[in-house]
Amino acid sequence: MNIFELTDKYTASTYGRYKLALKSGKGSLLYDENGNEYIDFGSGIAVNSFGISDSEWLEAITAQLGMINHASNYYYTEPQAKLAEMLCEKSGMKNVFFTNSGAEANECAIKCARKYAHDKYGDSRSTVITLENSFHGRTLTTLSATGQPAMHVNFAPFTPGFKHIPANDISALSADIGEDTAAIMLELVQGEGGVNRLTSDYVNAVVDICRERDILLIIDEVQTGNGRCGNLYAFMEYGISPDIVTTAKGLGGGLPIGAAMFGEKTSGVLTPGTHGSTFGGNPVCAAGACSIISRMTPELFEGVKKRAEYLKNRLENANGVKSVSGMGLMIGIETEKPAGDIVKRCMENGLLVLTAKTKVRLLPALNIPFELLEKGSDILLKAIAE
Ligand SMILES: *Cc1c(COP(=O)(O)O)cnc(C)c1O
């Protein structure tokens, strides 16, 4: 049996996969089994921040692999210490809990928010408000947080204590917040929900309400974070100070690591024994993340914004494009043709792109060479227009 047949026979059929078996790559180029080349506009869903097997990242993780590949969190390791310091110094957050994924980072944030409210206000305050169309993960609790009813069939009962409200609607916000509200959790640009950006007015209104009522503000930066939106974290572009920030995807540059980062109010909430993870902050993943985060400089963000500008200029008003949304190198394209057809057409012509709901979604590496950006957008524009 070939790779397709083996996978389809022996793995749970949870994914609608494209018939493409990727074998190798470097930077923003990928190769399949037969040596066909693809330009990568997806980065493994915003994971490979500096592309496939980036040399500096590879050197950092291989050096760490040869020193110590894993240690339990009963002990200290240098990569975890350095990564936590770097994240706090660069983001202004106070401390960090390391996880293996975005969903776990959000679970940790929700636990922290519930404990904060419980410690201060008792049992009456536990509801976490999230937005319609949000995506916060696939565990039962983060699915409960996720504001997409289509994902809620078949899996009841869910973790109680979540309420979904419409995005960018300030009046709904004040109507739905109550005495029982412990936290509000938001993506500043909804990724899986269709690359929808929250307005500054809305975000500022949320910040004000949270401050007035001692409600925690949790920003889910699993997709928007780590340089993706043209700053280390998107909340920094909005100029706000969240109580908890979660991230994952691009943090490890291609190895599984996530983080829940805590601010002034929340940094002391999780106490010994209240949370933990076997693999969380694994030294190899942390060494990879150190290589990524150490390169998050103003020059890099400038480069992200330039690349984003280039793509936006080429896409806006192009044939077959209805609208372009997003922030930095997280781009959604509303097209006249179905997004799925465009993805397939692009693949046939050597370009990998993603979808988000009904849109085509682009998440190229932060350092994708301009030459590949140009070649890739030629293929994309042709597929959209045809
Ligand atoms: C991908 C994603 C998650 C879930 O991350 P996993 O690593 O798949 O668990 C959560 N929130 C957002 C905003 C995401 O984009």
Query: What average pLDDT score do residues 171-200 get?
Result: 96
Q: How confident is the model at residue 283 (pLDDT cuts 50, 70, 90)?
A: very high
Query: Which residues make Cβ contacts (< 8 Å) with residue 38, sequence separation at least 6?
Result: 20, 22, 29, 30, 31, 32, 347, 350, 351, 352
Answer yes or no: is the C-beta of 103 below 6 A from any ligand 1 atom. Answer: yes
Supply the Cα-derived Rg of the chain in whole angstroms. 21
Q: Where is 52: in which H helix or E strand?
A: none
Query: What average pLDDT score do residues 149-170 get?
Result: 95
Answer yes or no: is the C-beta of 191 below 6 A from any ligand 1 atom. Answer: yes
Mean pLDDT over each residue of the chain, to the nearest integer: 97
Q: How confident is the model at residue 302 (pLDDT cuts 50, 70, 90)?
A: very high
How far is 108 from 298, CA to CA, in rounded Å? 30
Q: Which residue owns the Cα nearest ligand 1 atom 8?
A: 102
The pTM assigned to this predicted structure is: 0.98
14-70 pLDDT tens trace: 999 999 999 999 999 999 999 999 999 999 999 999 999 999 999 999 999 999 999
Q: Which of 135, 87, 95, 106 minimizes the C-alpha distance to 236? A: 87
User: What atom of ligand 1 comes closest to residue 191's alpha carbon?
Assistant: 15
Query: What average pLDDT score do residues 134-155 get?
Result: 96
How far is 27 from 318, CA to CA, in rounded Å? 28
Q: List Cα–Cα distances, 47 to 72, 223, 249, 300, 372, in angstroms.
A: 25, 8, 5, 16, 18
Which tokens belong to 128? Answer: 């976490």
Cis ω before 157 (30° cut-off from 0): yes
Q: Which of 196, 208, 195 minimizes the C-alpha distance to 240? A: 208
Strands 196-197 and 189-190: antiparallel
Answer yes or no: is the C-beta of 101 below 6 A from any ligand 1 atom. Answer: yes
Which tokens belong to 117? Answer: 């409210």
Is 187:195 a contact under the CB 8 Å cutoff? Answer: no
Total residues found in the chain within this entry: 386
User: What atom of ligand 1 comes closest to residue 190's alpha carbon?
Assistant: 13
Answer yes or no: is the C-beta of 221 below 6 A from any ligand 1 atom. Answer: no
How far is 217 from 183, CA to CA, in rounded Å? 6
Q: Which residue owns the Cα nearest ligand 1 atom 11?
A: 136
Answer yes or no: is the C-beta of 250 below 6 A from any ligand 1 atom. Answer: no
Q: How confident is the model at residue 204 (pLDDT cuts 50, 70, 90)?
A: very high
336-351 pLDDT tens trace: 999 999 999 999 999 9
218-249 pLDDT tens trace: 999 999 999 999 999 999 999 999 999 999 99
How far is 126 from 120, CA to CA, in rounded Å? 11
How far is 27 from 38, CA to CA, in rounded Å? 11
Measure the N-to-C terminal CA separation of the chain; round to a whole number of Å: 36
Pocket test of ligand 1: the residue of 136, 144, 218, 222 to mutate, having most ligand atoms within 8 Å of its CB, is 222
CA of 385 to the centre of ligand 1 (A): 31
